[in-house]
Amino acid sequence: MSAPDRAPIAGASGPLAILCGAGAFPLEVAHEARRGGRQPFLIGVVGATDAAIEAYPHVWVRMGEVGKLFAALKGRAIAEMVIIGAMARPEFADVRLDWGAVKRAAGLAQLFRRGDNGLLAGIAAIFEREGVRVLGAHEIAPRLLAPAGPLGARVASGEDETDIALGARLLEALSGFDAGQGAVVAGARVVAIEAAEGTDAMLARVAEMRAGGRLRFAGPAGVLVKAPKHGQDLRLDMPAIGPKTIEGAVRAQLRGVAVAAGQVLILERDRCAREADAAGLFVAGFARAGPPG
């Protein structure tokens, strides 16, 4: 279900809904969509989405207001949507189900019984069943994808390349599991593997291990490696890095950040490059053996 399996949407036009998670990234995607000739319509989730989305045509919904959401899409004849930002698995008690949700109850109930991949695939299936095609941010805003090669001024050394290759192999080995998308490799040794805690917490752990002497390296060491799982639906859960990732990598005293080229989103790319340069880190896209799927 990732991009290569789908008809290209280059040249697509018309309204595009953007279901917005937390942070500034939904606005970057809206900006790129508008640049590409689309009319973005932003959907904010109360308590999660930044109020800055109000710069665009928008509607606010609460978790569980599925009927209101579909009515907003149908009232504007919107047939395509992008879902941006990690969707936290809602606690059942936090959800306010409206009538539109109750009608779709069987599908929604399943969402609470699956891993992250299952949750997101279920959300996409619910939209597609109603005739709303779910696109990936990478399809709307390909300029936000990691390029091949360096983003800033620094480049990976030969030893860094060894660490990157080891991290990429590790992520391949983990790919069959609905677990993490990241690892830290230093001196040809796997020092941290991401699962439910997420990338930022993993980087904080590496910083702690260095401060506490559990990891001993003189000066910067190691690389954060990120890549999507095989079979991961990139429309829904594309790995992403941003200034927070760079900051975490600096605190962990890494030498750089390497992401699968074309398969990882970079939030605020210019700022990432600038801050990485200032700290002496490289940020680079690496070529993967094959596309996920």
* Site of interaction with a second copy (CB under 8 A): 89, 91, 115-116, 166, 169-170, 173-174, 176-180, 183-184, 188-198, 201, 205, 209, 213-216
Distance CA 273, CA 284 (A): 10
Closest to a second copy by CB, 92 or 99: 92
Q: How far is the CB of 187 from a second copy (least distance, A)?
A: 8
Q: Measured from the CB atom, is 190 or 261 closer to a second copy?
A: 190
Q: Closer to a second copy by CB, 105 or 201: give it.
A: 201
The CB-of-151 to a second copy minimum distance in angstroms stands at 26
Query: How wide is the angle at C-alpha 168 spanned by C-alphas 204 and 207, nearest 5°?
Result: 15
Three-state secondary structure call for residue 142: helix
* Residue 42, CA distances (Å) to 21, 36, 195, 216 in order: 10, 16, 30, 47
Nearby residues of 140 by Cβ (< 8 Å), 6 or more positions away? 9, 16, 29, 32, 33, 36, 38, 82
CB 183 within 8 A of CB 193: yes
Name residue 224's beta-bridge partners.
184, 257
Cα–Cα dist 36/168, whole Å: 33
CB 245 → a second copy: shortest distance, Å?
Answer: 18
Minimum CB separation of residue 9 from a second copy in Å reads: 32
Pair 174, 120: CB distance under 8 Å: no
Least distance CB 162 / a second copy (angstroms): 13
3-state secondary structure of 173: helix
**Residue 41 to residue 73: CA distance in whole angstroms:** 9
CB of 191 to a second copy, least distance (A): 4
Query: In angstroms, what is the minimal distance from the CB of 222 to a second copy?
Result: 10
Spacing of C-alpha 100 from chain mean position: 28
What is the amino acid identity at position 189? R
